[in-house]
Structure 1
Amino acid sequence: MTLPADYHAHSNYSDGRPLPSMVAAAADAGLEAIGITDHCNVSSRELPQRAKRKLGFNLDQTYGRRREALRSLREQAPESNPITIYDAVELDYDPRDESEIERFLEDAAFDYTIGSVHVVDDANIFDREYFAAKSESELQDLVAEYYDKVVALIESELFDVVGHVDAIERTPELRGYTTQAHYERVAEALEFSPTVPEINAGRVLEEYGHFHPAPAFLEAIQGRDVQFVPGTDSHRPAELLDRLPVLEERFADLDLEPVTPFSE
């Protein structure tokens, strides 16, 4: 199967490489479209604000500037190798921030939105040192908190796509605590929501070695009327070029028809 689009890629407007190089990689890969979905957080709470300052993820302030850059790239695209470029976002979700998220998305009017959960217990889910100090019961509770937030994200219907639904599995200290009950809760929420999940290739060629959702999770979701958006979750041109073929193979093996994250 040849995928027409990659709907999850990052640029230098968050933690990726320069916009022109990411778009050029997508064109070189033969894609018809690429979605630039830089990280963003709009919470006014102190801890997210502190993390944003540390990481320099300021798309809430710079999306207008990025929009101009995307417009320029569209105009410069050669007729011999045209590519559609979507102006999108990957936005951090926490139930405490729903009103701020809603206001921001209404004002920003992106082509589409990905919502992701990156924090539990006010710690980034990829912070191995933080979780290494926790007991087994505490880790079980933190994984349950993660899936509570994922379900709340889906049920909020603020986003077109829910990103990497089991990203918590990337962290070895948190791996293995996801249960069948977690799978079923998320799958049920997806069945009754317009928010769609993605098949995310962000760690399939790295230490974690799986797509999101992982096979058992995917099986629970596929048992319901749910479709999937393709995303490489690439931050560098080489990642997009390396991950796209395995993502295409994944959709073909599963006999899945990819969908767009918006109404056409």
Structure 2
Amino acid sequence: MHDYHVHTTYSDGAFLREMVDAAADAGLDGVGIADHCNVSPDPEAERFKRALGFNLDMTYERRREAIEEIREDPAVGLDVFDAVEMDYDPDHEAAIADFLDGAGFDYAIGSVHELDGANVHTRAHFADKPADEREALVDRYFEKLVALIDAELFAIAAHPDLIERNPHLRGFATEDHYAAVVEAFRNSRTVPEINAGRLLDDYGEFHPAPDFLDRLVDAGLRVSVGTDSHEPGVIAPRIDEIEAELEWRGLAPVRPEEIAEN
């Protein structure tokens, strides 16, 4: 199995070699180094990048050299992919496309992380908003997700219902939202991700949540695998859970050659 989505110190994860070694210890055939990246020209996005130290748009070539060194090490017994997790906003699609065209990653993962000028994980930003406003924001999240899929810029759409991690945005997703996303995936090269980033934490579910994943599977869509790990110790237990879920559902995840074709 291949885990297409882990992070290193080139964004908000652990040391590159530690993540690769943990992936090998977990019995994986390959691991995708998909650090966060944002190329939005928006001043607030620039401030956020500086605050968190997310600079992959400037450091990806240095990281690529480190990945090449690991690939050349005969002791490394798995594929290591040079990937990226791009923040997506339809207003900045041209800037994203230009960056990806020039960067030449093995593949790109697209993510919708921002709503109403805040990261969707930021509970305090959404906590005091009335229910109808939060419902409208979830509508906007799914509009952005469909736009991401329609953009044809990404091989993978990460954690398709990320809003469920935030209890103040949870429970507003509807069958109409799911249907719109399924239809977009049907007509796109982009594949949905089974993401275990919060499975063993407070949220306790995969992304997509069970009902949403049911709709994707019923539509015959292929899926990719992402532990979304930021530290080495969580790769193996998350992979164990993903393997069990795939076996229970009778699913075979996409292969590297299918990702590369995307």
TM-score, normalised relative to structure 1:
0.96
The residue aligned with 2:37 is 40
Question: Which one of 202, 222, 225 corresponds to residue 197 of structure 2?
Answer: 202
Counterpart AA for 1:94 = D
The answer on 1:228 being equivalent to 2:223 is yes
The residue aligned with 1:262 is 260
Take 1:225 and 1:101, find their aligned partners in 2: how far apart are those partners? 29
SS in 1 for 2:83: strand
Structure 1 residue 262: Cα displacement: 2.2
The residue aligned with 1:217 is 212
1:116 touches 1:164 (CA, 8 Å); kept in 2?
Answer: yes
Structure 1 residue 82: Cα displacement: 1.3
| 57 and 77 in structure 1: CA distance in 2 versus 1, 3 angstrom threshold | farther
> 1:1-264 alignment to 2 at 5 Å?
4-78=1-75, 82-260=77-255, 261-263=259-261
| Root mean square deviation of aligned Cα | 1.0
1:159 touches 1:195 (CA, 8 Å); kept in 2?
Answer: yes
Structure 1 residue 42: Cα displacement: 0.5
Structure 1 residue 225: Cα displacement: 3.2
Structure 1 residue 136: Cα displacement: 0.5
Once the two structures are overlaid, the 10-residue window that deviates more, 220-229 or 103-112, is 220-229
Take 2:74 and 2:194, find their aligned partners in 1: how far apart are those partners? 28
Structure 1 residue 97: Cα displacement: 0.7
TM-score, normalised relative to structure 2:
0.97
Structure 1 residue 76: Cα displacement: 1.9
1:77 touches 1:83 (CA, 8 Å); kept in 2?
Answer: no
Give structure 2 stretches of 5+ with no counterpart: none
Per-residue displacement from partner, 1:99-126 (whole Å, max 9, x unpaired)? 0000000000100010000001111101
Structure 1 residue 237: Cα displacement: 0.4
Take 1:56 and 1:142, find their aligned partners in 2: how far apart are those partners? 27
Counterpart AA for 1:14 = S
Per-residue displacement from partner, 1:201-246 (whole Å, max 9, x unpaired)? 1111111110011111011112213100011010000011221111
Runs of 4+ off more than 4 Å: none
Give structure 1 stretches of 5+ with no counterpart: none
Structure 1 residue 75: Cα displacement: 1.4
Counterpart AA for 1:239 = V
Structure 1 residue 166: Cα displacement: 0.2
Per-residue displacement from partner, 1:9-32 (whole Å, max 9, x unpaired)? 000100000001000001111111
Counterpart AA for 2:260 = F
Take 1:255 and 1:163, find their aligned partners in 2: how far apart are those partners? 21
Take 1:218 and 1:197, find their aligned partners in 2: how far apart are those partners? 9
Structure 1 residue 83: Cα displacement: 1.2
Aligned residues: 259
Determine what percentage of the aligned residue pairs are the same residue: 50
